[in-house]
Amino acid sequence: MSEMEKFAWGAKEIPVVRSVDVLVAGGGYAGFGAAMCAARNGAKVLLVEQLSALGGLVTMGYVALTFSYIEGIGFELFHALKNCGAVKGRFLDLEKTKVILEQMLLKEGVEILYGTSIVDAIVENGAAAGAVIFNKSGFQAIRAKRSVDATGDGDLAVFAGVPCECGCPELDGYNQASSLVMHVGNVDFEAMDAGSHGSFELVWREAIDKAMAAKEYPYMIDKRVNWQVRVPGRDPHHAEVYICYAHSRKCRCTDGFDLTRQLIEQRQQCQWTIEFCRKHLPGFANAWLIDTAPLLGVRESRRIMCDYKVTGDDLVDGARFEDAVARAMHAFDAHHPTEPGHIKHIVRRKADGTEEKCYVNPGQWREIPYRALVTKKIENMLVAGRNVSADFMGQSGIRLVLECLNMGQAAGTAAALSLKDGVTARKLDVQKLRSRLEEMGINLFHAPEYGQSGIAASSKITPADLIYPENNPSGQANVVLTDKARGKYAMNVSEIEADRMEKYLSDNGYAQTDGDVGTNLE
């Protein structure tokens, strides 16, 4: 490839429009958590978001399901969602969620700036000192004593000169496959349930095989549906669902031209898929495609290198850390970069030289250390969310929405406490941080009752309890429990969460009813 032509763009003076204690770049769940907790711990906070709402992939990418541990302000968020009928189980009403996220931040005094991109970092004496932004007002500067990069792509950290990794090194550096979520209306849930015989995923997989045999799709998009979400509060005979099926492979998710390719490709896939749904799936005969998500579902791009890098081995081993600031329980979930399917294992070499696949088993959990949030090279910058410091497979298991929220809570709290103590974020007393997070409702000092798949963390699972991917007709690429073992080890997660939420709300002065977290959506 010939060398790219360069154009000299002269330096200019730009106005400093805000000076704050903490700048949070990105308004997804990680950024929301960081801004909320930094403000709650006394910091003056500005949150900058490139889109027109908070929530990131949840609200703008239509990923309307929120899994993993609910901790800290997550209890307040779910309390507000429940009070206005915006959640059923872990499925969300996205428009109500947008408003609730905004009102919660405004109540804490956080200033929000929408439609704004981070275009450069301000670094002074080796420390983060703010950012250059661009919006309808033109180029402007934000001064900040601490910065949290929750952009997902690690934009602010990279502009500051923090090293990063991107993509799968064994697969030419391609990123995880991306997805564009479909929003489908006029679905008959009763017909859908009656025709699915308890497994919508299995019905989908069988129908996809038939459709491919009949050449209804020009190529295999994916082996099975990734997930479907039922929007709360809809008429069950004329309901709405979000469906994640579309995928692009061989993605370069920091290349604007390739991101455009992915969007165009997947919008076409969604048109094929609504026809497939009408023809093959129970309950979809009269359904229609309302729209596709305004935000492409990028699962992995830049991973910002910090003082510790979470690895796939950490997930398999259920790693614990003295400086742990968050917990996670999801299995590996790498959407294959180059072919249909998922990667839900790592490969280890045994003592005899042979290789074995290693999975995150049901009931397992692990911790995320503070060092994985503190950037190399640049002082006073923290990261939270899917741009966390991790290797390719490690990131795949700690990128879920609530795990991002919990990392954000830790990063925002650390930013504020380091200012109070007059130390850099790197020099912050991590045990003081952990104690403050525990006070804020984040469990770090007691083992969780359950881990991956809602299975008791104390379970003594044997190979006989497990179904491996090659024996699973649903097409799942991870190990799951047999029905007998699930009956033996499964926890009532809803009941556990309800008890923890009630205690949190009681300890923090909330009523169980009323919209008392700053929302007018009662």
In angstroms, the CA 32 to CA 283 distance is 36
pLDDT value for 519: 39
The per-residue pLDDT for 136 is 98
pLDDT value, residue 516: 42
DSSP state of 465: G
pLDDT of residue 1: 56
Q: Give percent of the chain above pLDDT 70.
A: 97
Q: Region 18-47: what's the mean pLDDT? A: 98
Cβ distance 520 to 101 under 8 Å?
Answer: no
**Per-domain residue ranges for the chain?**
182-292
DSSP state of 163: -
| Torsion angle, alpha carbons of 157, 161, 162, 166, to 10 | 80
| Count of beta carbons in the 10 Å neighbourhood of residue 178 | 25
Tell me the pTM: 0.96
For residue 3, what pLDDT is reported? 85
Written as six digits, the tokens of 261 are 């390719």
**Average confidence score pLDDT of the chain:** 95
Report the Cα–Cα distance between both ends of the chain, in Å, rounded. Answer: 59
At 518, the pLDDT band (50, 70, 90 cuts) reads very low
pLDDT at res. 97:
98
- Name the β-bridge partners of 11: none
pLDDT of residue 9: 83
* C-alpha–C-alpha distance, residues 93 and 233, integer Å: 8
Section 289-299 average pLDDT: 98
pLDDT at position 4: 87
What is the CB neighbour count within 10 angstroms for residue 146?
Answer: 29
pLDDT (0 to 100) of residue 521: 39
Dig out the tokens for 415 from the structure.
């930013």
Chain segment 372-390, per-residue pLDDT in tens: 999 999 999 999 999 999 9
The confidence band for 179, taking pLDDT boundaries of 50, 70 and 90, is very high
Three-state DSSP at 194 gives helix
Summarize the confidence of residues 450-468 as an average pLDDT: 95
With tokens 């469990």, the residue in question is: 443
Q: Is the pLDDT of residue 259 over 50?
A: yes
Q: What is the DSSP string of 260-294?
A: HHHHHHHHHHHHHHHHHHHHHSTT-TT-EEEEE-S
Give the mean model confidence (pLDDT) for residues 226-249.
97
Residue 172 is predicted with a pLDDT of 98
Nearest Cα residue to 44 out of 419, 472, 446, 430: 419
pLDDT at 325: 98
Q: Report which of 101, 72, 103, 74 is spatially closest to residue 90, judged by C-alpha positions.
A: 74
The pLDDT value given to residue 511 = 62
Residue-wise DSSP of 333-385: -EE-SSSSSEE--EEEE-TTS-EEEE---TT--EEEEGGGGBBSSSBTEEE-S
- For residues 415-443, average pLDDT: 98
Position 520 confidence tier, pLDDT thresholds 50, 70, 90: very low
Give mean pLDDT, residues 23-42. Answer: 98
| 316-334: average pLDDT | 97
pLDDT tens digits, one per residue of 126-167: 999 999 999 999 999 999 999 999 999 999 999 999 999 999
What pLDDT was estimated at residue 515? 41
Instruction: Provide the token pair at 226.
Output: 């990734």
Cα Rg, the chain, nearest whole Å: 23
